[in-house]
Amino acid sequence: MNAARPAPDAWPTPADLQEAFLTRGYVADDALATALRLVVALGKPLLLEGPAGVGKTEAAKTLAATLGTRLIRLQCYEGLDAQSALYEWNYARQLLHLRAAELGGQGGVSDEDLYSERFLMARPLLQAIREEQAPVLLIDEVDRADDAFEAFLLELLAEWQITVPELGTIEARTRPHVILTSNRSRELSDALRRRCLYHWTEYPSRAQELAIVHARLPGVNGTLAQQVTNAVHALRALPLGKPPGVAETLDWAAALVSLHADHLDAPGIRATLGAVLKLREDQLLAAPTLQGLAAQAAAGHQSGA
């Protein structure tokens, strides 16, 4: 099935994407921008794999905003089946329709009437197929779903059509821009990987993460942004159960800004630690490192005062 794709002159360049992403507070490196450009140009899905919290989901959201199209998100989970991801019938409305017909003396209701478009509730995959303008379809945390659902995805990504027994086959009007994300909680099949472009998304460098903080929190104090970024990178070097992602960096910086902090100190760390470390065990493990960072920051603040 060859669903329509954008014309070549509509394809953004990697540089275009980087600039557009930056205006929306997302700092994309050359490799990610190129991978996202190929999603649009080639019409192939992109598998973004990497640790939790590195911006995989946000990349899909920002791509949709950049392209001016709808983001449709399918959040995967253990036990997700094809039916739940595609559609379901609105049984409550169907029952009301049957009762109304009986009270109105209309007699029986035909299957064609009962299983018609007005009672069909489209779930993310059917929504993506029926969109007039190619949406960004985000299949989030596909590694949480099981092998059976993964096999179903292979067929969908190849054909871009689904069959609703009561209505027939529905073909995609346009080919969605598909982003799959994985935190690598389990290995995905070779068959799925072969159908996708691939990009490993790592934690950003210090310079990149500092740029992200400034892009998302324009009013943040420069010293505070630098100290928070350095602190998060120091925390990631520890054997934490849940290392902080970029979202935690931003939350921590925003929490400190809300307390009118202009540098990192011990009271500020104690008050806002829950914004960056979400396990009690991690907080205890990181305590010596955080004490040292607070002391360094305090010394630097005093010397600069």
Q: What count of Cα atoms within 13 Å lies in the side-chain half-sphere of residue 302?
A: 7
The pLDDT > 70 percentage for the chain reads 90
Confidence of residue 297 (pLDDT cuts 50, 70, 90): confident
Q: Which of 268, 294, 269 is nearest to 283 (CA)?
A: 269
- 236-257 CB burial, b ≥16 within 10 A, e <16: eeeebeebbbbbbbbbbbbbbb
For residue 109, what pLDDT band results from cuts at 50, 70 and 90?
low
**Of 138, 141, 139, 143, which is closest to residue 187 (Cα–Cα)?**
143
CA distance 131 to 123: 12
β-bridge mates for residue 198, sequence order: 47
Distance CA 169, CA 88 (A): 15
Rounded to whole angstroms, how far apart are CA atoms 156 and 129?
A: 10
Provide mean pLDDT across the span 139-152.
94
pLDDT recorded at residue 171: 87
SS3 label, residue 11:
coil
What is the spatial distance between Cα 115 and Cα 113, in angstroms, rounded to a whole number?
6
Average pLDDT, the chain: 88
Per-residue pLDDT at 64 exceeds 70? yes
Kindly indicate the confidence band of residue 106, based on its pLDDT and cuts at 50, 70 and 90.
low
Q: What is the pLDDT of residue 94?
A: 67
**Stretch 80-89: mean pLDDT:** 88
Residues in the chain: 305
pLDDT at position 3 over 90: no
CA 283 – CA 217 distance, rounded (Å): 25
Which region holds residue 121: left if phi is over 0, alpha if psi is between -120 and 50, else beta?
A: beta
Which range, of 101-110, 137-146, 201-210, averages the lowest pLDDT? 101-110
Q: What is the pTM of this model?
A: 0.84
